[in-house]
Structure 1
């Protein structure tokens, strides 16, 4: 079982090939922890309050990576130009990332109405 990722865990996940500062990473991580808590039922352990299921911990790392990457695309639009044509792709939010969605699916809150 995993624990809630901290700054060191996120930096390990991101690797060394990035230019984000520690404060940017930590701010994004905190925002994604809150967003995940709104969208998912996060099981708790009374003996260890930092515990969380492995799938949710991995989803949180991925959410943070996606959110940091999207900062370079302020309008969430990625444009590819070639000699023949141009392609425009709308990039979604971290919670709509396919891997995040699959990892969080068993814990997603069901909203009715």
Structure 2
């Protein structure tokens, strides 16, 4: 795609600096972020969802998900998850009303 269009915008220097720090953490330049924004606006015919730096819980989940671990079946995955839950030394049982009741 030919990148000859030019976009100029005046912005508060503090906002610009803070945004550049965040974009740097995401591995993006300001120009790349603007190109992403413009492409998403066109694709969605409106503003895209907000992009954020993942918090510690999200990062842990991403790292766990990309560990390369695979399962032969859904049952094997469930057995693994249930086994990890049981090692926490308690089980949550759902009553008929849908409320969680802890058993130790």
TM-score, length basis structure 2: 0.28
Q: Which has the bigger relative contact order, CA under 8 A and spacing at least 6?
A: 1
TM-score, length basis structure 1: 0.27
User: Between Structure 1 and Structure 2, whose CA radius of gyration is higher?
Assistant: 2
- Structure richer in strand, relative to its length: 1
